Structure formats: C-alpha cells, structure tokens
C-alpha cells in the first residue's frame, strides 16, 4: 500500500552554517509570534524564513510572505547555503529525548517520498479534522516554493520489526549530522544511498498501511496541489513529482513513539457566562470529586504534583484536574458505573471517540455542563491548548486563563482503534513528542518537475 521512493534531499551546507541548531525550527503550526521573532533573530538563514515568513506592511498579491519565502529559497540555493545531494537517498532519522518523567527515549524512522493517496483508498488514513485556513496557507506556500519544506509524520505497523531492524543496523554507522535543539532533543541524520537497502525497504513497506500522526493539513494540501497540477499539466498517470510528498515514516512498535497530553485553559471570554458552582453540582452525578489547592506561584513543582495524581487516577478511570484562577483544584474521576457512550448524547459521535478523555471533556463537561450547548465550537480567543502543565498554571496565575483542565494522554491503542474505524478524533487529541524538526532535509519538487517534463518518472 505504501509506495515510497528515495529522493535528492536539499540540506543546509554545514561548512557555511556551522552548528545547524541555529537554522532548524519546529513545525510551522507550533511557532508562536514570539518564537517566530526569536528564530528570525537566531540566524539570518533560519528555516523559519521559508516555512513561516513574516507578514510585512504593504504586502499584496504579488509581494507577500509566500513570494518572499520562494525568493529567499532561490537565493540560498544559488549562494550554496542550501545544497542538493547528488544521488537519490533515504534519510534515516533518530530523535533522542527526555519525557516529563526524566526517562530517555529514542524514536527512529526515515524520510522518504510517499505516493499520495485519497483517503477513500484506505492506504493512508487520518485521525484529525482539518480546517480551511491552514490548508489555504500551506497551499499558497507550496505553489510559490514548489518545495516540501517539512515532512508529514506517518506511522506504519511493524510487528515483526523487520524494517526497524534494518534501520537499526544502518544507524550503527556514524550519522552525517547530529544537532541538539533548544529543548535538548538530539537529532541525528543518516544519508543512505545503498540500492539494496532502498529496494528492500521499498518492498517491505508495500504491504503497510500508513496513518498520519502529524501533518494532516499538509497532507490534504499536497492532495489539493496534486489535483491542481494534474489539471494544469494533463499528467494524470500517478507517477509525477506532484504525486509524491516527503514524509517521515516510523514504526508503531517502538518504545520511542510517545504521545503527550494537550491541556486546556479557558479564557475569561468563555467563562464569563458560566456558573461554575451549578456545573460542579451536575458533574458530581457522573464524577467522583476530590478537592484540593494549587499554589500558582510555584508552577513547576505544583504542575508535577498535580499531574502525578491525574496520571495515577487515570490508570483506573477517565480523570482530569480542574483548576481555577484562584488556585482551587477539583480532581475529577469518572464513576465506575458511568458510561461515556451514554453520557455524550450524540448519534453523530462514534462510541470509540466518546470513550476518549478529550471527548468527555469537550462534549460533556465544557459544552453541556458549563456552556449549555453540546454543539458549541470553542473559538481561538476562548481556549489555550497547552502541552506544558507548568505553562497552564502560569496562565491561571496571570489571569490570562480563568479555568484549566490538566489531561491524561490519549493512548496509542485508542488512536489505532479510531484510525481503523475510519473516523476522526477531536481537535488537539494527540501530541506526538517530540515534533519532527524542520530544516534537516527538504525536497525540491520544482527541480524534479523540470526534469520530468517530457519524460516518465
């Protein structure tokens, strides 16, 4: 099912740049305006200038952040800041990182071109809903740059670990690049051009179904661009450069595949009409409630303490910590006889989705108990989605948030169940940690399309 190809990767010229930690960046969708400024200042060649160029006064249809990214990319290529490998390669990639407990993990996979498939084919599956705005943004950037600047993150089953064993063997060699980012994550890259390894890997992956862990908007953007180019060029044989997308592929059966929770912090905007006392009374019908107190002036230690309790409770039942801006904590644990599939009264929500912590939080606690509208969609100015529990307490202490929920993670088993059912999870249900960094390897589709004109791929 998964048809992959090696490609001519575009990479930073480390002889000119030096330490690549100054030019790599997180994916565009986790870069805040503050981080964008920091990345701009970090290095004049930071990949953020391609991936998320700044808007400037006077921008119009002809001159804007997308055209600037394309012009910058062209200059960097001509100046030798970015260089292209001479032989088609698979790029093996390892991330070494610590999880909140302090344990060190390693996630291993590879960058390759993967043939795009419509979801209806069943070969590539999604688990998150997407939104029109981000897709329009990414499509404009792709049209201008004709470059895959960052990969889609996909997972495949590898129960017998045949593929991972092959990758592990290759990773015994010294990596071509090793970079430590600002969060202490070690990124290692191997460039593999051996034809036997590439052919063997391609053959093993042909039987694998893929599911998208991160990059749903970029995947659907790639599909839109493919369809657009097919109409423009008349080439619909499925073997053109625009029929493929650079992806990071990794096996599901490994200890380093980590999902972290995404916590929720509600702003005063949404909470001003909520009677919290009444909502709590109703919640006690289905939840056991234990009261506590948080010292918001000590966010780091308090976040660890509260999360430890939430995780312990979560081993037995769906559980949350609800914290007010005044530091009051309510530990909520679903009662043994309570059934999420009955509590969430909606035929449109699949039972597998109803059993998720995030579903019970949004559909029942926030929408039904607090807002009184089961169909309500939270706006951007009404909720913060936060990975760091410490940051949640800081938002409460600063009064930027009025009420917050510290969450347990969605498990890999839950994700796989939902993927196989062919349904979608609520927004921000999963956070695969760490993110795949942008800037280690890119793919010049424009150059491929020039070479493909009048020839078959």
Instruction: Tell whether the model's pLDDT for residue 456 goes beyond 90.
Output: no
Chain center to CA of 114:
18
- The pair phi, psi for residue 46, each rounded to 5°, is -65, 140
**pLDDT score recorded for residue 213:** 92
Instruction: Tell whether the model's pLDDT for residue 457 goes beyond 80.
Output: no
| Model pLDDT for residues 238-297, shown as the tens digit of each residue | 999 999 999 999 999 898 999 999 999 999 888 887 888 888 998 999 999 999 999 999
**Whether the Cβ atoms of residue 326 and residue 411 lie closer than 8 Å to each other:** no
Chain center to CA of 308:
25
C-alpha to C-alpha distance for 126 and 75, rounded to whole angstroms? 36
Residue spans per domain, the chain: 4-258+434-452, 262-408
Instruction: Please compute the mean of the pLDDT values over residues 72-101 and round it to a whole number.
Output: 96
**pLDDT score recorded for residue 409:** 93
Instruction: Please compute the mean of the pLDDT values over residues 188-201 and round it to a whole number.
Output: 97
Instruction: Tell whether the model's pLDDT for residue 454 goes beyond 70.
Output: no
Instruction: Tell whether the model's pLDDT for residue 380 goes beyond 90.
Output: no
Residues 6+ apart with CB under 8 A from 401: 265, 266, 267, 325, 384, 392, 395
C-alpha to C-alpha distance for 439 and 149, rounded to whole angstroms? 7
| Model pLDDT for residues 117-149, shown as the tens digit of each residue | 999 998 999 888 888 999 999 999 999 999 999
| Model pLDDT for residues 27-65, shown as the tens digit of each residue | 999 898 999 999 999 999 999 999 999 999 999 999 999
C-alpha to C-alpha distance for 371 and 175, rounded to whole angstroms? 53
Instruction: Please compute the mean of the pLDDT values over residues 160-179 and round it to a whole number.
Output: 95
Q: How high is the mean pLDDT of the chain? A: 93
| Model pLDDT for residues 394-439, shown as the tens digit of each residue | 999 999 999 999 999 998 888 888 888 888 888 788 889 999 999 9
Return the higher-pLDDT residue of 127 and 16.
16
**pLDDT score recorded for residue 106:** 97
**pLDDT score recorded for residue 100:** 81
Q: Structure tokens of 67? A: 């055209």
Q: Are strands 263-266 and 147-148 parallel, antiparallel or unpaired?
A: unpaired
Quickly list DSSP for 118-166: -GGGSSEE--B---HHHHHHHHHHHHHH-EE-S-EEEEE--TT-HHHHH
Map tokens 């200042």 to a residue.
41
Number of Cα atoms under 13 Å in the Cβ half of residue 432 = 26
Instruction: Tell whether the model's pLDDT for residue 374 goes beyond 80.
Output: no
Global pTM value: 0.88
| Model pLDDT for residues 208-241, shown as the tens digit of each residue | 999 999 999 999 999 999 999 999 999 999 999 9
Instruction: Tell whether the model's pLDDT for residue 450 goes beyond 70.
Output: yes
The H or E element containing residue 260 is strand 258-260
Instruction: Tell whether the model's pLDDT for residue 455 goes beyond 70.
Output: no
C-alpha to C-alpha distance for 175 and 441, rounded to whole angstroms? 14
Sheet with 82-84, edge to edge strand ranges: 82-84, 9-12, 442-444, 147-148
**pLDDT score recorded for residue 325:** 95
**pLDDT score recorded for residue 168:** 95
C-alpha to C-alpha distance for 423 and 429, rounded to whole angstroms? 13
**pLDDT score recorded for residue 377:** 80
Cis preceding linkage at 376, omega within 30:
no
Q: Structure tokens of 281? A: 């009374």
């Amino acid at each position: 099912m998964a048809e992959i190809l090696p490609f001519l990767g575009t990479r930073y010229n480390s002889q000119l740049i030096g330490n690549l930690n100054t030019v790599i960046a997180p994916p565009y969708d986790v870069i805040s305006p503050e981080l964008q400024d920091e990345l701009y200042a970090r290095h004049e060649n930071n990949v953020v200038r391609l991936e998320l160029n700044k808007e400037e006064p006077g921008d119009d249809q002809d001159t804007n952040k997308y055209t600037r990214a394309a012009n910058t990319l062209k200059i960097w290529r001509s100046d030798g800041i970015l260089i292209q490998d001479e032989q088609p390669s698979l790029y093996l990639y390892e991330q070494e990182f610590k999880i909140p407990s302090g344990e060190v993990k390693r996630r291993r996979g590879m960058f390759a071109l993967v043939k795009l498939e419509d979801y209806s084919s069943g070969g590539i599956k999604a688990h998150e809903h997407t939104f029109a705005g981000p897709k329009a943004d990414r499509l404009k950037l792709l049209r201008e740059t004709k470059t895959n600047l960052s990969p889609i993150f996909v997972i495949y089953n590898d129960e017998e670990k045949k593929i991972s064993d092959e990758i592990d063997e290759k990773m015994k060699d010294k990596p071509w690049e090793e970079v430590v980012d600002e969060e202490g994550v070690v990124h290692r890259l191997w460039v593999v051009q051996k034809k036997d390894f590439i052919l063997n890997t391609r053959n093993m992956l042909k039987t694998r179904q893929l599911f998208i862990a991160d990059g749903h908007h970029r995947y659907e953007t790639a599909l839109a661009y493919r369809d657009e180019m097919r109409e423009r060029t008349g080439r619909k044989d499925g073997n053109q450069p625009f029929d493929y997308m650079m992806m990071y592929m990794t096996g599901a059966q490994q200890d380093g595949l980590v999902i972290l929770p995404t916590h929720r912090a509600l702003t005063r905007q949404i909470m001003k009409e909520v009677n919290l006392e009444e909502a709590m009374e109703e919640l006690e019908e289905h939840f056991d409630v234990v009261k506590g107190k948080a010292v918001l002036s000590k966010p780091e230690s308090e976040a660890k303490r509260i999360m430890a309790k939430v995780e312990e409770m979560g081993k037995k039942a769906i559980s949350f910590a609800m914290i007010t801006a005044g530091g009051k904590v309510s530990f909520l644990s679903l009662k043994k006889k309570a059934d999420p599939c009955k509590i969430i009264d909606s035929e449109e929500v699949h039972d597998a989705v109803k059993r998720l912590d995030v579903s019970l939080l949004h559909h029942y606690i926030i929408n039904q108990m607090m807002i009184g509208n089961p169909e309500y969609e939270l706006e951007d100015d009404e909720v913060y989605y936060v990975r760091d529990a410490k940051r949640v307490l800081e938002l409460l202490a600063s009064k930027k948030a009025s009420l917050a929920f510290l969450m347990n993670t969605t498990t890999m088993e839950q994700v796989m169940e939902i993927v196989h059912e062919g349904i979608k999870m609520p927004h921000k249900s999963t956070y695969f940690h760490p993110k795949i960094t942008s800037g280690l390897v890119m793919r010049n589709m424009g150059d491929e399309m020039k070479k493909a004109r009048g020839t078959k791929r």
